[in-house]
Amino acid sequence: MDFLGAFTPDNLIFLLKGFYVTLKVAFISIIFSFIIGGALGTIRFTKIPIVSNIAAVLVETIRNLPLLLIILFTYFALPEIGINLGITVSAIVALTIFESAMLAEIVRGGLISIEKGQMEAARSSGLSYIQALRLVILPQALRRMVPNLVSQFISLLKDTSLAVVIALPELLHHAKIIQAQELSYVIPIFLLIALMYFVVNFALSLIAKRLELKSA
């Protein structure tokens, strides 16, 4: 097997381009899903009638669907009703929908984990419910959520590879193109992209550990 032969400059650049798309799509989806998931999780936590129930139904529905289905739906089904998002946006939308639901549960769990006395102390000092949430409960909950959030971000980064089914030009897609040229490239290219995913995700989890130690 011609191991090093697979790593031509062209191939390496092509893989890096794919990895760039992976990181870009993941990053954008993380930002959006953090905002949407944070809002959904908080709304569900508040138990405000109707609004909170709607959030719960949304979250539970999405959480129980396979991500692959959501990606395929966004790309193949939405155009049927006139919504044509294109490959990249479809991938971002699908990932954002799915991850928002996952993050909503993490955020809600973090909020629930804060002792009841914190809310009572804040409210009894005359702060409104929203103020108590914003100034007292959320900051503490976010600190507690860091490890779970980061591991969800890592999942998201890995899940980006599922968008290979709609030919998103991300790392796995580019790897498959290279592998199709030459059978002997299959193993070395797989090993290389495995290393790329690993390095980034492992770095993220190290950062998470750091943050965890700091906030403890």
Partner 1 sequence: MISFGHVNKYYGDFHVLKDIDLTIKTGEVVVIIGPSGSGKSTLLRCINRLETITDGSLTVKDVHLNDKKTDINKVRRKIGMVFQHFNLYPHKTVLENIMLAPINALGISKEEAKKTAEFYLDKVGIPDKATSFPSQLSGGQQQRVAIARGLAMKPEIMLFDEPTSALDPEMVGEVLDVMKALAEEGMTMVVVTHEMGFAKEVGDRIVFIDQGKILEEAAPVEFFENPKEERAQVFLSRILNH
- The CB-of-118 to partner 1 minimum distance in angstroms stands at 6
CB atoms within 10 A of CB 45: 22
| Token reading at 96 | 């954002």
Closest CA to 68 of 168, 165, 170, 169: 165
Q: Which residue has the tokens 């993490």?
A: 106
- The CB-of-40 to partner 1 minimum distance in angstroms stands at 23
Decide if 26 contacts 157 (C-beta within 8 A).
Answer: yes
Q: Which strand (E) or helix (H) includes residue 108?
A: helix 86-112
**Identified binder of partner 1 from the candidate list 10, 126, 183, 213, rule CB under 8 A:** 126
Number of residues forming the site for partner 1 (CB under 8 A): 18
| Token reading at 54 | 């709607």
If one asks whether residue 124 binds partner 1 (CB under 8 A), the answer comes out as yes
Site string for partner 1, 136-175 (x = CB under 8 A): x--xx--x--------------------------------
> 5 to 24, contacts with partner 1 by CB under 8 A?
none
CB atoms within 10 A of CB 112: 12
Helix (H, G, I), strand (E, B), or coil: what is residue 45? Answer: helix
Q: Which stretch binds partner 1 (CB under 8 A): 7-15, 83-91, 135-143, 198-206?
A: 135-143
- The CB-of-21 to partner 1 minimum distance in angstroms stands at 38
If one asks whether residue 103 binds partner 1 (CB under 8 A), the answer comes out as no
Decide if 136 contacts 122 (C-beta within 8 A).
Answer: yes
If one asks whether residue 131 binds partner 1 (CB under 8 A), the answer comes out as yes
Residue closer to partner 1 by CB (options 115, 182) is 115
Q: Using CB under 8 A as the criterion, which residues of the chain lie in contact with partner 1 when the complex forms? A: 115, 117-118, 120-128, 131, 135-136, 139-140, 143
